[in-house]
Amino acid sequence: MSKSVVIAVDGTAASGKGTLAKRLAAHFGFAHLDSGALYRLTALAVLQAGGDPADPADAVRGAQTIDLSLAGDLAIRTDKVGQAASQVAAIGAVRQALLDFQRGFLASPPGGSPGAVMDGRDIGTVISPDATAKLYVDARPELRAHRRWLELKGMGIERDEQGLLAELNARDAADKSRPISPLVQAPDAVLLDTSDLSIDAAFAAALALVSPRIEGALKDRHRG
Ligand code: DC
């Protein structure tokens, strides 16, 4: 069987990487996995069991008991779960427990799709270092905090924007400085700064950046 085509989309919190990953997947007819949801589901499982997200034993138990059917649930989108996700994600044994699932998804994308798009923090560096195309998505922190504020408001959650900015900066700092699989731009990833771009403009830019490699890889697959 020929190798699946992979787009790795890494980046900071609320940079727009998830929306871009989803739209890229829809455009190419690829499967999509938001790897952040795996860490959020792990965090939710720990919190629901009354455990401590910073405790390796509790966190690994959480990773082993995640309920993938809750991946679309709003319960995992709260900031409390986001912070706890960042804590469980710093534990090597948790990352190890989630590794096979992520690599399996990329090797055999569901639905027999020829490719997959995965977004997260370490997709281009650790999960799929030989991905066909890699993007690193970022935006100025104040803009990301504002987008997050709007998103939460849309869910009926009122938050102070300054508080959100502080949380976002703290989470980025933790994700970038952890010793295991830190958030870092892969040397061969292309930087996409979405600060001054609408979602449509950011998608057009992302598509222009990945298309040559993806179209080439799809042609190679057909030639087979
Ligand atoms: O993308 P997100 O905000 O849903 O991610 C939640 C947390 O999960 C994030 O703070 C860091 C962690 N994460 C990770 O360490 N590696 C990934 N591939 C995805 C997310």
The reply to whether ligand 1 has any atom less than 6 angstroms from the CB of 89 is: yes
Report pLDDT digits (tens) over 190-218.
Answer: 999 999 999 999 999 999 999 999 999 99
Give yes or no for residue 90 CB within 6 A of ligand 1.
no
Does the C-beta of 175 come closer than 6 Å to ligand 1? yes
Give the residue whose CA is nearest to atom 5 of ligand 1: 36
Question: For 10-34, what is each residue's pLDDT tens digit?
Answer: 999 999 999 999 999 999 999 999 9
Confidence class for position 77, pLDDT limits 50, 70, 90: confident
pLDDT of residue 24: 98
CA of 99 to the centre of ligand 1 (A): 13
- Taking the centre of ligand 1 as the mean of its atom positions, its distance from the CA of residue 35, in whole angstroms, is 7
pLDDT band at 151 (very low <50, low <70, confident <90, very high): confident
**Closest-lying ligand 1 atom to the alpha carbon of residue 82:** 6
Q: What is the pTM of this model?
A: 0.95
- pLDDT cut 70: percent of the chain above it: 99
Sheet bearing 31-34, strands edge to edge: 31-34, 115-120, 5-11, 133-138, 190-193
Cβ distance 103 to 123 under 8 Å? no
Does 40 sit in the ligand 1 pocket, CB within 6 Å?
yes
Single-letter residue type at 1: M
pLDDT at 98: 98
State if residue 178 touches ligand 1 by the CB under 6 angstroms criterion: no
DSSP 8-state code for residue 75:
G
- pLDDT score at 156: 86
Whole-number Å distance between alpha carbons of 179 and 105: 25
pLDDT at 1: 53
Nearest-atom number in ligand 1 for the CA of 181 is 15
pLDDT score, position 157 = 84
Which atom, in ligand 1's list, is nearest to the CA of 39? Answer: 8
Domains with residue ranges and CATH for the chain: 5-194 (3.40.50.300)
Q: Name which residue leads in pLDDT, 34 or 3.
A: 34
Q: Which two tokens stand for residue 147?
A: 């987008």
Residue nearest (by alpha carbon) to ligand 1 atom 9: 86
115-133 pLDDT, tens digit each? 999 999 999 999 999 999 9
